[in-house]
Structure 1
Amino acid sequence: MANQEKRSRGRPRADSGVAGQGSVQSLDRAVTLLKLVSEGSGLSLTEVSDAAGLAPSTAYRMLTTLQQHDMVEFDDINQLWFVGVETFRMGATFLRRRKLAERGRTVIQTLMQETGETANLAVADEDAVVFVSQVETHEAIRAFFRPGTRSPFHASGIGKAILAYRAPEQTERLIERCGLEGFTEKTLTTAEALRADLAAIRKRGFAIDDEERNPGMRCVAAAVFNEFGEPVGGVSISGPSVRVTDARAEGYGPQVRAAGQEITQAMGGRWPSGGET
């Protein structure tokens, strides 16, 4: 009998237990519920609905909608709702971006001054890199990536620098899931071409985006690593190809690689064993 009373707080008595029934789209109330669950150490349906001022059936539909996206979890044994793994992943991404942007800001300022080209920081997201900080060159013609701009891994200097140090099976899964879209005539659109480029990047320690995302623009990039030696972001310089010539791009490589190593160290990260130093 005690177990039945406990169970009624986790799900309405009339509910069949099938997640996803009656999902609602009220974003504001859903976020409120998510905050309530994240602040507790396991809440019953009654506690959630009372705190949110919602009917238990409405609160339950909202919770199961969040559950479908792994943002909350339900403990069947204790009949309690907890924050989910997807919420943690999003929060960890935010912290990683903030840490990279804070620790890397001084480094990219110096990199821009030394090279005379725009310097960028980006973080790895699920299917793309996201630019989080930039120091623009003083040149009239310059590259510009608004913070929050996303770029596919295979068509980005930073993206390729990250892929070069990921496990090969991760890259293969990314190719299978996202494909290799062509943006210019120089984009690497075959798995063979991308694999060859990633091998070259590992050998020299930096990547070159040779007009592969935007015609007339070159980028030189290096990865940034966390404490486990995993690539979590990157640093780059970018500019028009008439100024960032092939020869200059190769010359900038060691500087950009050194910047990646400096940011890695500042973040408490570890350059991977066997990587160029």
Structure 2
Amino acid sequence: MKVITEPQRRPRGRPREDLSDTKTNQSLEKALGILKSLSDHDGLNLTELSEATGLPPSTTHRLLGTLAAHNLVAHDEATQKWSIGIEALRIGMAFQRRNQILIAGRPAMIELMEVTGETVNLALLDDFQVVFVSQIECHEPIRACFRIGERRALHASGIGKALLAEMPDARLKQFLQRPLLRLTDKTITDPDRLHDELSHIRQQGWSVDDEEANPGMRCVAAAVYNAFGEAHAGISVSGPSSRITPERLNDLGRQVRDTAARISSLIGGHLLA
């Protein structure tokens, strides 16, 4: 009797690892690290960038050459500093086109800045952080400013707490099991206390960052909802505590909450009953 042995079949699902791509993937990781480091600064020379990324200067210079060939980074001969290139802007604009809130919300943000006299911010929820994606600066000489792309912890951010207040119970429970980092003397690090504050935020429709991230700065925020009734973004007014006084919080809270509702409506969003 002839025995026929069937060839062993590889389970479907994850593709077979191609070891020849390992070096390419490592280079890509390093190049992305360079872009991220440059995005955090207004310009770095080769030595500074090498130290920031932990890469040897020769490797950093080689990868910079590749990125520069695609206009993702630019080099200033006068200062010998590298910075983000024009092609990175074009790529970033694709994110703006995909997220209609950035365009639809801008007029309402400008109006809110003019009414309150304070800087207005828009941030999106990303995992357990908020990422600032748009800002309308006020005209005051002393004002709050966030770098676009800057991330903040949810529990120490006005927008972050507004989003936490609308988070599904299972997701919120998962967050509250994580360590809550203390950033200032006023940062709420006790899970039970934070949970109580989130209940209050949910009832009134707006939140306050009372010098919990930066001493001397206050922020009033509200959530923006998408078409599914999910709080996926938020807006805020931020400024020094000397101007955003406790006496102004109720008025600012209502103004921010109403503006957030307008933006939600503009993008087809709504708060679920």
CA distance in 1, matches of 2:225, 2:97: 11
CA 1:154–1:140: 2 relative to 1, 3 Å: same
Is the counterpart of residue 155 in structure 1 residue 159 in structure 2? no
Deviation at 1:250? 2.1
- Aligned partner of 2:111 in structure 1 is 110
Is the counterpart of residue 238 in structure 1 residue 238 in structure 2? yes
CA distance in 1, matches of 2:230, 2:247: 30
SS in structure 2 of the partner of residue 228 of structure 1: coil
- 8 Å contact from structure 1 (residues 97, 123) kept in 2: no
CA distance in 2, matches of 1:123, 1:154: 15
- Aligned partner of 1:37 in structure 2 is none
- Aligned partner of 1:129 in structure 2 is 130
Match of 2:24 among 23, 26, 29: 26
Letter aligned with residue 122 of structure 1: A
- Aligned partner of 1:216 in structure 2 is 216
Letter aligned with residue 185 of structure 2: E
CA 1:30–1:244: 2 relative to 1, 3 Å: closer
Deviation at 1:20? 8.6
**109-118 or 96-105, which deviates more:** 96-105
SS in structure 2 of the partner of residue 108 of structure 1: helix
- 8 Å contact from structure 2 (residues 96, 103) kept in 1: no
1:89-145: CA deviations, max 9, x gaps? xx9x94697322111111110000000000010000012000000000100100001
- Aligned partner of 1:205 in structure 2 is 205
SS in structure 2 of the partner of residue 24 of structure 1: helix
Unaligned runs of 5+ in 2: 1-5, 30-91
Deviation at 1:264? 0.4
- 8 Å contact from structure 1 (residues 112, 135) kept in 2: yes
SS in structure 2 of the partner of residue 121 of structure 1: strand
Deviation at 1:272? 2.4
CA 1:119–1:95: 2 relative to 1, 3 Å: closer
Deviation at 1:215? 0.5
The residue correspondences of 1:1-277 to structure 2 (distance < 5 A) are 24-27=22-25, 94=95, 98-177=99-178, 179-273=179-273
Deviation at 1:245? 0.4
Letter aligned with residue 22 of structure 2: V
Letter aligned with residue 213 of structure 1: A
Deviation at 1:176? 2.4
- 8 Å contact from structure 2 (residues 144, 240) kept in 1: yes
CA 1:97–1:236: 2 relative to 1, 3 Å: farther
Q: TM-score, normalised by structure 2?
A: 0.67
SS in structure 2 of the partner of residue 195 of structure 1: helix
Count of matched residue pairs: 203
Letter aligned with residue 267 of structure 1: I
Deviation at 1:175? 2.7
1:58-83: CA deviations, max 9, x gaps? xxxxxxxxxxxxxxxxxxxxxxxxxx
- 8 Å contact from structure 1 (residues 155, 212) kept in 2: yes
SS in structure 2 of the partner of residue 26 of structure 1: helix
Unaligned runs of 5+ in 1: 12-16, 32-90
SS in structure 2 of the partner of residue 180 of structure 1: coil
